[in-house]
């Protein structure tokens, strides 16, 4: 690269050597200037891509090549950039680069191979803005692992599929095709339907462009030091500098690695030197510590030191001369094992949190013992197939556009338009919503979505749940999405000074680039500190939302529904005509569609929105029409979201019920026909039969719900938790009752997943039945009986748990005298 950009570059106000400054991945030459209005709009967007790449450990460098008219302008402009620049004084270099890469306008981006300097893309301005660009970049680990030797002989691999565990032996030289055949032999998932995750790759579908021997090397490196045993320090042997939650509350167990559902220790916000301490009860040989994220907090310990002592009074010695360990990077990501350079004999182990992140940080932790090390765990692969047995589309390649397909679709659309010609405009416009759900079927877009999801962590969480795997996985997905992926935007942060003190002051038209990503309108916010304005495009392209990761309920539901489809769930995008949007997924275990609101981290809580005459305790909305759009059908699901449909009916005055059903039926028929154009006839017939069967079952369920009194769940008695409190109140969604409003404000950070958490009252010890035998032994015996009867281990365990819960509910303690 020195031969291209010169031996020296600028970074901030300092001059650095090019050979040491660049990482060797992908290098972007950014031709831009302060006086250029399009450049001023593009630079903040490029900055977001660059910062995201750095955050994810990607090897991506940017070099600013200035077209400014003087050095003062260059300095002012470069001060807003986090990357390198060609020195402004080297005008000859700027002209030479423009000539070599034929740069005729700005802003312009040229992508180069950082190792060889070869051209990757001379017109990279649009490419770097594509949602999949960051995921395509190499990492430091990729370069380091390339230097390690390939494994010799078969490698044991653990396969996880829908909560079950299998063991296979993988021959590195036989490649991915044979690996998929082996996975089929144990899971019955055909090779073409397998979505594979793991082998040391933290996120994303397994990249099969990496040769299998290299992937196995990476996987074995990821499992290094997993043979150390966890000490299992009990709750009473843990102590901290401070605790955000009182000891008597249920968070008191926070920090225990094996606690369920994994509530973390959180220190107080005014604790300037937070630490978390574990007592081994005796002097042991310690190899290191292990950290996991807590499920109930949005910030984690990102950097830490470890100190040890043989007595609590000290002296405390910093491990490895005060070495700074890298901590947690997100929810549902792999645990962090910090291994010391050499084992330490100690009794007390203290984790000292170092500055970084938010003012309150969380962790779960334990100690790794060095005196009894097992073999490291084998590499792992998580296999996802299709969550719905009736869905033939999941792993079929997307139909290629061709003249015949387009002609057939145009014919179907012409017939639909004829059927709807006399319908009211708002009903006719429902056809447009089909375009949105159709985007979710793009295989390229689904691959980009899967690159963001920590499937391994969500799978581990789902495997330890008593729920069905599909629902437990969805619950983990909702938790990760709300706390670690998407963010709510009342008004955007200032792109000039990064202040959050901004206020929306108006709207403007989208630029051509914003229109490309389906931004229908753009809000404008003004910073109360620097006075400058920031644009907030309301993107409707779910791929773009994978990059921006922010918005309100429209953006939240749009992006989340794409993630559901990418993972293999059948999903619907649900439109509430009183201004809200959410998702539904089909559950094979429940044999029905299940409500999933990503803004609220809510699963199967359909009555949370309404304010009914008697029972309504949720948001306080007065629903009218709730329409669900899937790729191959459309349906009115309003009855699912109301306690009394007869009370809702008088508000549905825009058109007759018969007209609504006629139009939705026509649109649904069109969507079914369009989706089956290139599907084999036998498969199409099976799908039509499944849709008809489901439609009848759903109609019976919805009518049955309308005629029965519906039990209101705890999470359905809470007002809206997402968004600014004042905004929620103005919309009338903060809560239907004072209690619902209070709970909504309390759960503003966690969403509804915290609404069913045990309260402090639940900590009281219940009366115990006189046991005639050891309950644990009885449970083990019952488990063995059920497995012997033919149930799988998972099914047997679930039944044992259900029987125990039923017995506990029916138990009546003896009355006190």
Tens digits of residue pLDDT in 531-547: 999 999 999 999 999 98
Q: What angle do CA 127, 129, 134 make, to 5 degrees?
A: 85
Structure confidence at residue 63 as a pLDDT band (50, 70, 90): very high
The answer to whether the beta carbons of residues 575 and 627 sit under 8 Å apart is yes
Residue 322, CA distances (Å) to 276, 286, 814 in order: 16, 16, 58
Structure confidence at residue 254 as a pLDDT band (50, 70, 90): low
Q: What is the pLDDT of residue 288?
A: 95
Rounded to the nearest 10 degrees, how much is the dihedral formed by the CA atoms of 2, 8, 11, 15?
Answer: 160
Q: What is the pLDDT of residue 761?
A: 29
Structure confidence at residue 256 as a pLDDT band (50, 70, 90): confident
**pLDDT tens readout for residues 453-489:** 999 989 988 998 889 999 999 999 999 999 889 999 9
Question: Residue 554 and residue 410: Cα distance in Å, rounded?
Answer: 29
End-to-end CA distance of the chain: 87
Mean pLDDT of 389-399: 60
Question: Residue 653: is its pLDDT beyond 80?
Answer: yes
pLDDT greater at residue 613 or residue 239: 239
Q: What is the pLDDT of residue 458?
A: 92
**pLDDT tens readout for residues 285-339:** 999 999 988 765 667 888 999 999 999 999 999 999 999 998 887 777 778 899 9
Structure tokens at 405: 């397909």
Q: Which of 228-237, 264-273, 681-690 has the lowest mean pLDDT?
A: 264-273
Crossing angle of helices 469-480 and 553-567, rounded to 10°: 140
Q: What is the pLDDT of residue 581?
A: 96
Give the chain's mean pLDDT.
84
Structure confidence at residue 249 as a pLDDT band (50, 70, 90): very low
Q: What is the pLDDT of residue 371?
A: 86
Query: How big, in percent rounded to 5, are the helix, strand and coil portions of the chain?
Result: 40, 20, 40
- pLDDT more than 90, % of the chain: 50
Q: What is the pLDDT of residue 697?
A: 93
Mean pLDDT of 738-746: 85
Q: Count Cα atoms within 13 angstroms, Cβ side, for 280.
A: 24
DSSP for residue 538: -
In 10 A of CB 641, how many CB atoms? Answer: 21
Query: Does residue 327 sit in helix, strand or coil?
Result: coil
Structure confidence at residue 777 as a pLDDT band (50, 70, 90): low
DSSP for residue 483: I
The answer to whether the beta carbons of residues 600 and 752 sit under 8 Å apart is yes
Pairing state between β 155-161 and 380-384: parallel
Question: Residue 550: is its pLDDT beyond 80?
Answer: yes
Question: Residue 576 and residue 663: Cα distance in Å, rounded?
Answer: 17
**Strands, E, within 423-532: which ranges?**
487-488, 502-508, 522-527
Q: What is the pLDDT of residue 243?
A: 82
Q: What is the pLDDT of residue 297?
A: 66
Structure tokens at 441: 């079927």
Mean pLDDT of 99-119: 91
Question: Residue 88: is its pLDDT beyond 80?
Answer: yes
Question: Residue 425 burial (CB < 10 Å; 0-12/13-18/19+)?
Answer: exposed
Mean pLDDT of 606-618: 71
Burial 121-134 (b: 16+ CB within 10 A, else e): eeebbeebbbbbbb
Question: Residue 611: is its pLDDT beyond 80?
Answer: no
Q: Count Cα atoms within 13 angstroms, Cβ side, for 31.
A: 25
Mean pLDDT of 390-418: 64
| Sequence-ordered alpha helix ranges (H) in 637-714 | 645-648, 657-675, 681-707
Q: What is the pLDDT of residue 572?
A: 97
- Nearest to 204, CA basis, from 488, 566, 468: 566
Question: Residue 665 and residue 659: Cα distance in Å, rounded?
Answer: 10
Residue where the block lists tokens 């036989």: 174
pLDDT greater at residue 358 or residue 693: 693
Catalytic site positions = 553, 580, 597
Does the predicted model carry a pTM greater than 0.85?
no
């Amino acid at each position: 690269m020195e031969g291209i950009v010169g031996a020296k570059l600028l970074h901030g106000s300092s001059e650095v050597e090019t050979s040491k400054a660049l990482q060797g991945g992908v290098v972007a030459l950014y031709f831009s200037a302060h006086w250029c209005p399009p450049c001023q709009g593009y630079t903040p967007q490029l900055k977001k891509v660059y910062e995201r790449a750095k955050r994810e450990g990607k090897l991506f460098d940017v070099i600013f090549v200035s077209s400014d008219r003087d050095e003062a302008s260059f300095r002012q402009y470069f001060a807003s950039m986090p990357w390198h620049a060609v020195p402004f004084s080297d005008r000859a270099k700027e002209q030479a680069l423009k000539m070599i890469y034929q740069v005729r306008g700005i802003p312009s981006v040229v992508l180069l191979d950082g190792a060889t300097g070869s051209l990757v893309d001379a017109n990279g301005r649009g490419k770097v803005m594509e949602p999949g660009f960051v995921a395509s970049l190499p990492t430091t680990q990729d370069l380091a692992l390339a230097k390690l030797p390939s494994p010799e002989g078969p490698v044991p691999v653990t396969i996880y599929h829908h909560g079950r565990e299998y063991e296979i032996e993988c021959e590195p030289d036989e490649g991915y095709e044979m690996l998929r055949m082996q996975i089929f032999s144990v899971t019955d998932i055909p090779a073409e339907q397998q979505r594979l995750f793991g082998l040391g790759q933290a996120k994303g579908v397994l990249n099969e462009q990496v040769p299998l021997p290299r992937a196995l090397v990476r996987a074995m490196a990821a499992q290094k030091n997993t043979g150390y045993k966890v000490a299992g320090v009990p709750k009473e042997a843990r102590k901290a500098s401070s605790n955000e939650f009182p000891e008597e509350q249920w968070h008191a167990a926070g920090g225990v690695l094996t606690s369920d559902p994994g509530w973390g220790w959180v220190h107080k916000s005014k604790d300037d030197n937070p630490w978390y301490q574990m007592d081994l009860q005796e002097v042991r040989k310690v190899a290191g510590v292990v950290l996991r994220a807590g499920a109930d907090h949005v910030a984690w310990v990102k950097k830490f030191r470890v100190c040890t002592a043989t007595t609590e009074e000290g002296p405390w010695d910093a491990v490895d001369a005060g070495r700074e360990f890298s901590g947690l990077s997100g929810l549902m990501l792999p645990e962090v094992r910090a291994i010391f350079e050499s084992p330490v004999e100690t009794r007390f182990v203290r984790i000292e949190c170092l500055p970084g992140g938010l003012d309150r940080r969380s962790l779960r932790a334990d100690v790794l013992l060095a005196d009894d090390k097992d073999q490291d765990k084998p590499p792992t692969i998580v296999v996802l197939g299709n969550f719905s047995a009736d869905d033939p589309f999941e792993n079929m390649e997307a139909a290629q556009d061709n003249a015949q397909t387009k002609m057939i679709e145009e014919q179907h659309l012409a017939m639909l338009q004829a059927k709807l010609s006399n319908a009211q405009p708002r009903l006719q416009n429902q056809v447009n919503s089909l375009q949105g759900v159709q985007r979710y079927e793009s295989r390229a877009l689904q691959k980009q979505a899967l690159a963001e999801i920590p499937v391994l962590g969500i799978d581990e969480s789902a495997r330890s749940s008593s729920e069905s795997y599909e629902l437990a996985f969805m619950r983990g997905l909702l938790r990760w999405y709300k706390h670690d992926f998407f963010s709510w935007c009342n008004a955007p942060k200032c792109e000039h000074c990064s202040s959050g003190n901004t206020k929306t002051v108006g709207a403007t038209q989208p630029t051509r680039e914003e229109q490309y990503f389906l931004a229908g309108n753009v809000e404008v916010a003004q910073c109360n500190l620097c006075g400058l304005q920031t644009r907030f495009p309301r993107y409707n392209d779910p791929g773009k939302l994978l990059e921006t990761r922010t918005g309100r309920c429209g953006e939240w539901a749009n992006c989340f529904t794409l993630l559901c489809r990418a993972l293999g769930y059948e999903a619907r995008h649900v439109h509430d005509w009183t201004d809200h949007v959410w998702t539904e997924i089909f559950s094979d275990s429940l044999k029905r569609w299940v409500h999933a609101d990503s803004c609220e981290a809510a699963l199967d809580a359909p009555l949370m929105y309404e304010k009914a005459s008697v029972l309504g305790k949720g948001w306080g909305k007065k629903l009218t029409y709730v329409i669900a759009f899937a790729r191959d059908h459309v349906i009115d699901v309003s009855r699912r979201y109301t306690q009394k449909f007869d009370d809702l009916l008088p508000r549905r005055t825009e058109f007759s019920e018969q007209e609504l059903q006629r139009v939705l039926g026509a649109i649904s028929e069109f969507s079914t026909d369009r989706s089956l154009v290139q599907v084999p006839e036998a498969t199409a017939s099976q799908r039509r039969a499944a849709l008809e069967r489901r439609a009848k079952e759903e109609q019976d369920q919805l009518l049955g719900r309308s005629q029965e009194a519906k039990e209101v769940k705890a999470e359905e008695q809470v007002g809206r938790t997402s968004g600014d409190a004042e905004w929620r109140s103005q919309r009338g969604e903060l809560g239907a009752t004072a209690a619902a409003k209070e709970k909504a404000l309390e759960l503003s950070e966690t969403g509804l997943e915290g609404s069913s958490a045990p309260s402090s009252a639940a900590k009281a010890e219940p009366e115990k039945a006189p046991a005639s035998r050891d309950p644990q032994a009885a449970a083990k015996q019952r488990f063995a009986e059920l497995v012997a009867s033919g149930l799988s281990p998972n099914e047997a365990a679930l039944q044992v748990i259900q029987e125990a819960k039923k017995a506990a509910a029916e138990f009546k303690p003896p009355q006190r005298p």
